[in-house]
């Protein structure tokens, strides 16, 4: 009987999986809403703990660069607080994933910035950004953030995370994938892929909890590497 129910759920998922965009934002403590992303900003750590956004394949364009600024929330770190830290102001929501000039401008707001080593920000983290854009047809959901253990050091009251993660959900492919990275991570992106289930056990966050349980179980428990453009 249990297996019959599972088969019925899989069949139902195949028939009724919809490509209509629906809100799948995670639960947040201090959500700061921009045009294309939502930042769960920590006043204590002066970084976003989590950022949620969607990407549309047909809206990806080059919208240029802007200066880092503070506009969406007045309790963030200042751009100058990163000076001489040895860390980049790392975008959580990527500028290149913007779907408008406004969204791109807001991507440079400090509510979207985390301290990342130059090697991470310009290396494997950038690879995750390229990956999400290569796998967003017709659109995709992304949640990224940090894992804090309470032992991190600070610079100008900004907590320096050691671990970063990203979760990508493509509803058309009915697939999810997660990446777990450290400040010194280097190598091929595939090396850092983990199941969403594994990431949930580390973060204690239920990603995309709004989806029916059987859908989550199917997609979060495994990685189908053939469904992704590497």
Domain residue limits, the chain? 29-224
Domain 29-224 maps to which CATH number in 3.30.1120.10, 3.40.570.10, 1.10.287.610, 3.40.50.300? 3.40.570.10
Q: What span, in angstroms and rounded, lies between the C-alpha atoms of 36 and 32?
A: 11
User: Are the CB atoms for 19 and 172 separated by under 8 Å?
Assistant: yes
pLDDT for residue 13 = 46
Q: Is the pTM of this model over 0.75?
A: yes
**Residue range 80-86: mean pLDDT, rounded:** 98
Whether residue 215 is predicted with pLDDT greater than 60 in this model: the reply is: yes
Under the banding of pLDDT at 50, 70 and 90, the label for residue 63 is: confident
Q: Which pair of tokens denotes residue 126? A: 């950038």
């Amino acid at each position: 009987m249990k297996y019959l129910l599972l088969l019925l759920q899989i069949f139902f998922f195949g028939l009724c999986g919809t490509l209509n965009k629906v809100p799948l934002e995670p639960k947040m403590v201090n959500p700061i809403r921009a045009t294309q992303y939502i930042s769960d900003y920590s006043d204590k750590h002066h970084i976003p703990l989590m950022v949620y956004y969607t990407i549309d394949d047909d809206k990806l364009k080059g919208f240029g660069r802007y200066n880092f600024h503070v506009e969406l929330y007045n309790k963030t770190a200042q751009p100058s607080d990163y000076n001489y830290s040895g860390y980049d102001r790392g975008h959580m929501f990527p500028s290149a994933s913007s779907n408008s000039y406004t969204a791109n401008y807001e991507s440079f707001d400090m509510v979207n910035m985390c301290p990342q080593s130059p090697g991470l920000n310009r290396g494997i983290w950038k690879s995750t950004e390229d990956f999400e854009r290569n796998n967003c047809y017709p659109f995709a959901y992304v949640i990224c953030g940090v894992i804090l253990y309470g032992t991190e050091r600070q610079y100008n009251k900004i907590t320096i995370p050691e671990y970063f993660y990203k979760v990508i959900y493509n509803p058309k492919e009915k697939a999810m994938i997660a990446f777990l990275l450290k400040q010194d991570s280097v190598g091929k992106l595939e090396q850092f892929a983990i199941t969403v289930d594994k990431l949930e056990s580390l973060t204690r966050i239920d990603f995309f909890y709004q989806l029916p349980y059987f859908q989550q179980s199917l997609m979060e428990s495994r990685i189908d590497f053939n469904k992704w453009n590497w």
